[in-house]
Structure 1
Amino acid sequence: MKITRTFVLSGVALLALSGCSSATPQPEPSPSSSKISYADGLHAKVLSVETANTITVDVDGRTKEVRLLNVVAPTEHNNEFSGSCLVPESTDFLKQKLPEGTEVTLDFDDSRVGSSGYLEAAVYVGDDLINADVVREGFATTTFLSQRDEHYAPVSEAQQEAAREGRGIYSKDVECSLPHAIQLHLDRVHRADDSQNEEERIGLYKSASNFYNTLMSEAKSPDTWVGSIVTLDAVKDQLKELKNALGKNYYDVQGKSEREKQSEANEPIRPGS
């Protein structure tokens, strides 16, 4: 999606001149003493890529670490579903998009610095929004700070595209992805249906039910923001398929199956009970 923007040249504040004679020559402001104006259209040069959502850039001779606005990258220490999936692959992808020396333009949201403490920006190469590119390939997901986030919409749309096309962390073929985990339990349920071993069958049903219950407890309202919760909105149809496959063999959080609850409801009341 091509985004048309108006570039605003960033200014550099001059050093204040005070207490000096007009005849005294004044030194030129150095990069270290001048202040960066964080306005849309700020030009920078890529020095390195740290993760799928963090880069180091040079701005007028100063080194700044920038986090891609509205983008959440997988990390080795993320315990959320799919949160530690494709970490090196996602970083390599961004390195290919932004090799050292690439000229980029930075746009900012009103908040500019997010809760992480990083300088957060929409990173452009020409009219190409890099934030959306990483998410579109399924190498990262989107997040937001408020309803007024300026760049959330295109990044969220990119995530929905990745989910529809089954790319990256939305692929059933990627072992660390959530869709792969759901499919694995779905296959186990089908295998349980064909099993003659009652103990094995019940174990598979309970395992799939516990997985489903845990997943749903992790996301109280996955549909509140389209694409805002890592992969859950994208796999809601797949989760529904798993629940339907379990049918009466679904076990609730109390460990009771639908079949058991139905049996108890149909049990006749005995005299004196």
Structure 2
Amino acid sequence: MPRPTTIAAVTVIVGAVLVFLLVGRTGDTPPGDDAVSTTIAPVAVEANAVVDHVVDGDTIDAIIDGTEERVRLIGIDTPETKKPDTPIECFGPEATAFTEQLLPVGTPIRIERDTVGRDDYGRLLGYVYRADDGVFVNYEVLRQGFGTPLSIGPNTTFEQLFVEAARAAETDDVGLWAACSGAER
């Protein structure tokens, strides 16, 4: 089955990553925010959904063609805050708050799928981009230290990019890398 990811979207992503690697960080971090900005030159993308609710750091509800869908961000795992019979994990509330900051309710987004479209819980699996500036949300969550890479084949298109983002966050000692001991991650 062919991937629904368009060649144009992949070209934009690859170009954006190359710009980031060649130019570096823009320093657009809001005053008083300790996060390292990885936002690159804005590149808007065409929206195909709107954020309806942020469930936690790696799961959102989105409206797609008038229907609400639960969307699990591919390739990342954030600390648990809503798993039944499980305590809230270190940096879980912060990860949820960060995703809420990136994707406020009503934000137009682009969801791109990989090979497998849904997980065992029926959630849509997606790479999520903010439409107005093209921020790659899955990547940004990792780069800012709010999650760790989680690759489940065959949905591994950005596996190496995600590993590099998490490594950079760990090196910069940001997010959960600064706040949580190794056993809690």
TM-score normalised by the chain length of structure 1? 0.46
**Structure-to-structure mapping, 1:171-250, within 5 angstroms:** 171=178, 174=179, 177-179=180-182
Q: Which has the larger radius of gyration?
A: 1
| Partner AA of 1:55 in structure 2 | I
Query: Is contact 1:45-1:59 (8 Å) kept?
Result: yes
> Which of 127, 138, 150 is 1:131 aligned to?
138
Query: Is contact 2:72-2:124 (8 Å) kept?
Result: yes
Name the structure 1 match of 2:76: 71
By percentage of residues, which structure has more strand? Answer: 2
Cα distance change on mapping 1:169 and 1:78 into 2, 3 Å: farther
Q: Distance in 1 between matches of 2:89 and 2:115?
A: 30
Shift of the alpha carbon at 1:104?
0.4
Asked if 1:6 is matched to 2:11, the reply is no
CA RMSD of aligned residues (A): 2.8
Q: Distance in 2 between matches of 1:117 and 1:151?
A: 22
Asked if 1:61 is matched to 2:63, the reply is no
Query: Is contact 1:52-1:73 (8 Å) kept?
Result: yes
Residue ranges of structure 1 left out of the alignment (5+ in a row): 9-40, 180-214, 216-229, 232-273
Q: Distance in 1 between matches of 2:166 and 2:121?
A: 22
> Which of 134, 158, 161 is 1:154 aligned to?
161
Q: Secondary structure at the match of 1:144?
A: coil
Q: Distance in 2 between matches of 1:130 and 1:42?
A: 14
| Partner AA of 1:178 in structure 2 | S
Asked if 1:170 is matched to 2:159, the reply is no
| Partner AA of 1:134 in structure 2 | V
Shift of the alpha carbon at 1:50?
0.7
Percent identical pairs in the alignment equals 27
By percentage of residues, which structure has more helix? Answer: 1
Q: What is the aligned residue count?
A: 141
Q: Distance in 1 between matches of 2:176 and 2:84?
A: 14
Residue ranges of structure 2 left out of the alignment (5+ in a row): 1-5, 11-45
Name the structure 1 match of 2:106: 101
TM-score normalised by the chain length of structure 2? 0.67
Flag the structure with more relative contact order, 1 or 2, with Cα contacts below 8 A and sequence separation at least 6.
2
Shift of the alpha carbon at 1:115?
3.8
